[in-house]
Structures are given as C-alpha cells and as structure tokens.
Amino acid sequence: MVNMMSDTVTKPSAAMLEAMMAAEVGDDVLGTDPTVISLEQRVAQMFAKEAAVFCPSGTMTNQIAIKCHTEALDEMICDIDSHVYRYETAGFAYNSGISVALIHGKYGKITAQQIEAKIQADQDWLPHSSLVVLENTCNKGGGGYYTISDIEPIKKLCQAQDLALHLDGARLFNALEETKETTQDIGPLFDSISICMSKGLGAPVGSLLLGTHKFIKKARRFRKVLGGGMRQAGYLAAACHYALDHNIQRLSVDHQRAKMMAEALAKLSFINSINPVYTNIIIFHLNKDITASRFIDVLKEKGILASPFGPHAVRFVTHLDITEEQFNHVLKVLNGSFPF
C-alpha cells in the first residue's frame, strides 16, 4: 500500500531507531535529559530564538502558545481553515477561554489588511484582540507558504497594535525549502514558533515551541499542567536530532513528486480542479457525480491510500516513506483507466 493520507504516517527508519537506542537520557521533567536539552538548544539557535520546549504534539505546542499569549476574554485572529481553529478540538476556547476572529484567506494565507480589519475596538463589551496566528505551510490551504515579504507587514501591524504573533510552523521546513529563505531570517519575525518533527521530517513523535526565555519558562508550566511533561524523552529527541540531520534536504523530492502527481491528475476527465501545488500537499476536487469516498475506494483497490477532504475533495500528501517504486506505481495508476 502507498499511504498518502498524511506525512504523519511515516515510521522511523532503521538508522533513526539506532540513533534513538543510542541516546543518552535523563529525566526531562527534572530538566536533566541531555538529549532533550541539546535538541531544544539546537532548534532555538537555528531560528534565532532564545529558548525552546519539547512537547509530544503540535497541538500541544500551539495550545501552550495561545495560553501564554492570551488571557480569558481575549480574541485570536487567524484564517478560517487554520489548524488552531479547525483541528484542535476548539482548545483555544477550552484551554484559554478566548474567542476567535476568522479571516477567509487565500488558500489559508491572510494579509495585514485582513488582520487589521478584525482588530476589536477597546470596549468593555468586546473581546480584546491579543494574538494573531499564521500557519506556514497552510495545511487545509493545500501546502501554500508565506514568504518573508508576506510576513513583514503583518509583523509591523502586530507590533504597532500590541498583538502577539505566533507561527504554526508544523511544516515550516517545507516552506523554507521552496522560498530558500533561512531559519535565521524567519525566526525573528515571530514571538513564538511551533515546529513539528513528526510531519515531513519523519520523527515518530515530537514538536518544539520556540520563544524568549521568559515565554518558554511560562510554557513549561503549561506543558506540565496539560500532562506533557515526559521523563526519558531523550529517546524521542534523538529521533528529532536524526530528522534534522538527514531529512530536511530531501523535502524537495516530496515537492517534486507532488507536482508530478498533480500533472497526472490534471489529465483525468473526472477531476474538476486541483488547488495550486506548492509543497507536499495536493488537494483536488472531483466532478459532482463522483464522491470522494468512491474515488478513494477505487484508489484503495489499486494500492493507494488517500484522505477525503470534503464530499468531493481528496488530499494526497507525499513524504519520505514513499519509495521510488511506490511513486512510479502512483503515476502508473493515475495514467491508467478508471471506472468513471
């Protein structure tokens, strides 16, 4: 089976497992796990941030960031398709007691003008705008990315209006692969950044939240109360070190393959449209007489797993566990015949 449901389905390679087994570990709740400490320092330095905290998931790093940046009765501003709004169980309301102002962005991307229009006036009866969240790449937007020149006006607005700016960078390395901008360039634009190691980089578990020393000190308390304090977490951190050493440069392969799959899909008569393919995500829309689940069933019979992304929409995600042979199989299937 070629599993293109998500880039989270990857399993640690033999070499990654070896690196995990060789890890030197301690007790990270007590702050004595050397591999976690070195990972946190490495990623913070990479993005020119003061500090980092290692967490079990990107949902947790985002939720902690929202909690640290806001107070109850505040409001965060984000795109309507963003992960923090759609896919974190409304945790912004549950954990932080805040409201949300939603923007209809373009493939998940929002602008300074759109954000400015959502800033609430200072009135007793209105929530207080205190946080902007950007997502890069935009998952539900189909893997589109922001360039630094897209972000700079947003950063300026946030500074002028005293809004915190958080980046959900679950797939930030995919974005940087395309823009050719550096971690040092993008890091300083945000007050906090969440990065996932378990997406395109192929680690089994792990996300990092980056920010100032003061912010991360507060974040550690929220990690603990959310149940995210882990003990011999160095085994997981070792997988993340391995992922950073070996799996960043190869992201371009995933992007190239996604573009080639989209070209093959474009030739199929029953496909109505394909969102622009920017990185490793392909979202496409079938003609109204074919449901996503029917198409997915047919693909499954041909050895390909994909995710429904709406009644007539399907998502493919490319990743490091798709072999050359599997990739060729997908192209062969897409260039073959379908019963529609």
Footprint of ligand PLP (CB under 6 A): 57-59, 62, 83, 135, 139, 168, 170, 196, 198-199, 207
Contacts of 122 (CB under 8 A, 6+ apart): 128
Structure tokens at 58: 């990107």
Q: Measured from the CB atom, is 135 or 177 closer to ligand PLP?
A: 135
Q: What is the 3-state secondary structure (H, E, C) of 92-130?
A: HHHHHCCEEEEECCECCECCHHHHHCCCCCCCCCCCEEE
Distance CA 264, CA 335 (A): 6
Residue bearing tokens 């946190």? 40
Distance CA 76, CA 84 (A): 10
Structure tokens at 245: 């050493």
Q: Is-contact 28 192, C-beta < 8 A?
A: no
Distance CA 137, CA 12 (A): 23
Residue bearing tokens 């493939």? 107
The CA angle 153-275-208, to the nearest 5 degrees, is 55
Q: Measured from the CB atom, is 151 or 271 closer to ligand PLP?
A: 151
CB of 7 to ligand PLP, least distance (A): 9
Q: Measured from the CB atom, is 222 or 334 closer to ligand PLP?
A: 222
CB of 135 to ligand PLP, least distance (A): 5
Q: Measured from the CB atom, is 28 or 79 closer to ligand PLP?
A: 79
CB of 328 to ligand PLP, least distance (A): 27
Distance CA 205, CA 18 (A): 16
Amino acid, res. 222? F
CB of 338 to ligand PLP, least distance (A): 29
Q: Is-contact 169 193, C-beta < 8 A?
A: yes
Residue closest to ligand PLP when measured from CB atoms: 58
Q: Measured from the CB atom, is 278 or 286 closer to ligand PLP?
A: 278
Q: Measured from the CB atom, is 183 or 280 closer to ligand PLP?
A: 280
Q: Measured from the CB atom, is 69 or 119 closer to ligand PLP?
A: 69
Cα-based torsion angle of the residue sequence 13, 263, 87, 79 in order, rounded to the nearest 10 degrees: 130
Amino acid, res. 52? A
Distance CA 66, CA 60 (A): 10
- Helix axis angle for 324-334 and 251-266, nearest 10°, is 10
Q: Measured from the CB atom, is 96 or 207 closer to ligand PLP?
A: 207
CB of 9 to ligand PLP, least distance (A): 12
CB of 62 to ligand PLP, least distance (A): 6
CB of 102 to ligand PLP, least distance (A): 16
Contacts of 331 (CB under 8 A, 6+ apart): 260, 261, 264
CB of 196 to ligand PLP, least distance (A): 5
